[in-house]
Amino acid sequence: MNKILLAFLLLLGVSSCRSSKLSAPIFTKAPKPQVLINSVKNAQFDAELFSCKISGKYKGENQTFSFKGSLKIQKDSLIWISISPGLGLELGRFLFDEDSLYFMNRFDKTYFKSSYSDLSEKTQSPLSFSRIQALLLGNSMSKFEERKYHSEIENQAFTISSLSEKQLKKISRSRRKPDETYFTATVDPYTYRITSQGLSNLKLNRSLSIFYEDFEIHDTHNFAESIDFRILANASLSLNLAYSKINLTKKLKFPFKVPKSYEVIY
Q: What's the pLDDT tens digit per position in 17-54?
A: 333 344 567 888 999 999 999 999 999 999 999 999 99
Looking at residue 166, its amino acid is K
From the centroid of its chain, how far is CA 263?
A: 30
| pLDDT band at 186; cut points 50, 70, 90 | very high
**Cα 154 from Cα 150, distance rounded (Å):** 13
Phi and psi at 261, nearest 5°, equal -75, -10
| pLDDT band at 145; cut points 50, 70, 90 | confident
Q: CB–CB of 122/138 below 8 Å?
A: no
Percent of the chain at pLDDT > 90 equals 63
**Cα 20 from Cα 67, distance rounded (Å):** 38
Tell me the pTM. 0.85
pLDDT tens track for 91-115: 999 999 999 999 999 989 999 999 9
Per-residue confidence (pLDDT) for residue 23, from 0 to 100: 56
Q: CB–CB of 106/88 below 8 Å?
A: no
pLDDT tens track for 194-218: 999 999 888 888 899 999 999 999 9
The secondary structure of 81-139 as a DSSP string is EEEE-BTTB--EEEEE-SSEEEEEETTTTEEEEEEHHHHHHHHTS---HHHHHHHHHT-
